[in-house]
Amino acid sequence: MRLVPFVKFRRKSAAILDAAAVAAASGADCVMVIDGHSGLIERADAAAHRMFGWPEGALRGTHVNELIPRAKRNLHDAERVLYMLHPITKPMGPERKVMVLHRDGGQFEIEAGLSPMSGRRIVFVCHRVVPRERRYE
């Protein structure tokens, strides 16, 4: 019997459950698991695909910078590297608000949080920000 594939499967399953627990606890609109060192998206829920305008499953293996406006990508890379030196659960961006990029090129604002997982992974959770003028429609 080969134990290594089973152990790897159990670790991945635990990581997915950790991400789901973080999302549920935060009331997040979407959740992604990102490799903190490479910046590659390992997992993204269906809501993340819808929010960012990607076909289901297409975010896996995509660099997280594809979701960041071009002018902010270098800064985002530097901030990700710094975060991985001391990964802690924290809001992302000033007052948790971050501008992100829809696949169609449009930009929108989210509130985001980061939470470290075992190894190199980061759980990214986000809430779509509703513009003040639309809150009372």
pTM over 0.85: no
Query: How do residues 1-47 score in pLDDT, each as one tens digit?
Result: 454 444 444 455 455 545 555 555 556 788 899 999 999 999 999 99
- Distance between first and last Cα of the chain: 61
Alpha-carbon gap, residue 1 to 121, rounded angstroms: 29
Which of 32, 81, 39, 90 has its CA nearest to residue 63?
39
Q: Where is pLDDT greater, at 55 or 133?
A: 55
| Number of compact structural domains in the chain | 1
Query: Is the CB of residue 54 less than 8 Å from the CB of residue 7?
Result: no
What CATH number is associated with residue 97?
Answer: 3.30.450.20
At 28 the pLDDT is 76
16 against 64, higher pLDDT: 64
Range of the domain at 75: 4-135
pLDDT for res 6: 41
Instruction: Decide if 104 contacts 126 (C-beta within 8 A).
Output: no
- What's the chain's average pLDDT? 79
